[in-house]
Amino acid sequence: MQTKVLKFGGSSLADAKQFRRVAEIVRTEPSRRYVVASAPGKRFSEDTKVTDMLYDCYHLAAEKKSIDGAFAKIEERYNQIISELGLDFSLQDEFDKIKMSILHHAGRDYIASRGEYLNSMILAEYLGYDFIDAENCIFFFENGVFDSEKTNEATAEILSRHERAVIPGFYGVMPNGTIKTFSRGGSDITGSIVARAVNAGIYENWTDVSGMLMADPRLIDSPKTIDVITYKELRELAYMGATVLHEDAIFPVMEAKIPINIRNTNKPEASGTLIVPTVENDTGSSVVTGIAGKVGFSTITIEKGQMNKVSFISEVLQCLTRHKINIEHVPTGIDTISVVVPTDQLKGKEEEVFASIRRHVSPDAITLNDSIALIAVVGRKMVKSTGTAGRVFKAIGSAGVNIKMIDQGSSELNIIVAVDEKEYITALKAIYSEFVK
């Protein structure tokens, strides 16, 4: 019997009713031995996630405002879960300790991490599983980079001594003992770390949709579920906005080739999406696996006649990296290059950055375009089929949308197009209906 590791997201653990569903899922199979829990998420669409409530407390304390009201609401959320589950269990000592730490200006990450810490304690109590604090298993280097080797060794060693356990997601510890979190949605990474450490047969990631869908269900009406997807395709889609799984969550399980199964806590009978290293006998499915997109980009276009391309491009890119601006794409023409960057990273630095580019490469012109959306069309079969790019462009063109940039990854796993933000959803819908009949 191969061990299964399960991660439950915030909406799967948002209230007592959801806790009961989770317990039923866990108890259905004895192989479901290790459970990673998120903080309570939204119970309804206008609700606030506990993680966001904790960030609010941090900001209130930093501004020397009272946290009494805000913190009482957090206590209330947990106490309601405890009482509705009928548990004879109190988190009062933990609440008092955390509140005191916030008032003493504890770190932002420590405060945010308490959402999963407290929720995991309740879940462990409810399931009758051991509680293992992630601060004893998950480690970061001094520079904030995740220490995969030390983490794997420690997690494997600790869990070998526990038959069944709940581990809080989202955080680990720095060499100096302070708590550090992954980026938002990071409990997915913790689940993957635990799966690798116990050499699980499968990592089940339980959420509020029946798997990875071919497009964002908030933008496209009832998109189809993707049955099988490769790690690489998943990463492309996740990075480009399909946030159902954190884009870095595949790394811990990748080497051990452990498959990830995205499942719906509210519909456990659905088989969900299987994320695998490679797909054998790849017949039947569409040439496009999924479509994702993000808004909030700018393009900087730099023109210079008869530029020496190699040094020109490298100088321009260095100007941007020196200003800590991420470079998303670099489409080039004969005498031009465009650099696509996140608008929020460029904001306020435009003049400095342009001056630096002028100093280093003396361009003929620099132009800036804001309000750009990027759409990624991803599919492992694109490499073997012709005409996919043509179909993407035709679909967008027929919808009356102008394409501002095109970039095809050299792996031929994706085609990226840039359009004006105002036309983002129209373009997305056009591509979806071209490939999904």
Site residues for ligand ADP per CB under 6 A: 9-12, 38, 41, 185, 207-209, 212-213, 215-218, 242-244
CA distance 99 to 79: 15
3-state secondary structure of 392: helix
191 near ligand ASP (CB under 6 A): no
Q: Which is nearer to ligand ASP, 137 or 300 (CB)?
A: 137
Of 7-26, which residues contact Mg ion (CB under 5 A)? Answer: 9
Of the candidates 171, 148, 88, the residue with the CA atom closest to the CA atom of residue 122:
88
Distance, C-alpha 175 to centroid of its chain: 25
Half-sphere exposure of 7 (CA within 13 A, CB side): 30
77 near ligand ASP (CB under 6 A): no
CB of 187 to ligand ADP, least distance (A): 7
Q: Measured at the alpha carbon of residue 119, what is the angle toward residues 203 and 146, in degrees to the nearest 5?
A: 55
Of the candidates 293, 362, 374, the residue with the CA atom closest to the CA atom of residue 331:
374
315 Cβ contact list (under 8 Å, min separation 6): 357, 360, 361
Residue 248 is encoded by which pair of tokens?
A: 């870095």
CA distance 176 to 173: 8
Size of the site for ligand ASP (CB under 6 A): 14
38 near ligand ASP (CB under 6 A): yes
Amino acid identity for residue 122 in this structure: I
172 near ligand ASP (CB under 6 A): no
167 touches, from Mg ion, ligand ASP, ligand ADP, none (C-beta below 5 to 8 Å by class): none
Candidates 181-189, 288-296, 297-305, 363-371 — which segment interacts with ligand ASP by CB under 6 A? Answer: 181-189
Of the candidates 232, 155, 245, the residue with the CA atom closest to the CA atom of residue 205:
245
What are the CA-CA distances from residue 252 to residues 4, 154, 163, 378 (Å)? 15, 14, 22, 22
Of 92-121, which residues contact ligand ASP (CB under 6 A)? Answer: 115
CB of 206 to ligand ASP, least distance (A): 12
Q: Which is nearer to ligand ADP, 249 or 341 (CB)?
A: 249
Q: Which residue, judged by CB position, is nearest to Mg ion in the bound state? A: 185
185 near Mg ion (CB under 5 A): yes
Helix axes of 92-103 and 108-127: crossing angle, nearest 10 degrees: 180
Residue labelled with tokens 């009356």: 400
Q: Which is nearer to ligand ASP, 39 or 374 (CB)?
A: 39
211 near Mg ion (CB under 5 A): no
Candidates 56-64, 181-189, 372-380, 408-416 — which segment interacts with Mg ion by CB under 5 A? Answer: 181-189
CB of 26 to ligand ASP, least distance (A): 18
Q: Which is nearer to ligand ADP, 58 or 206 (CB)?
A: 206
Q: Which residue, judged by CB position, is nearest to ligand ADP in the bound state? A: 9
Question: Which positions touch Mg ion (CB under 5 A)?
Answer: 9, 185
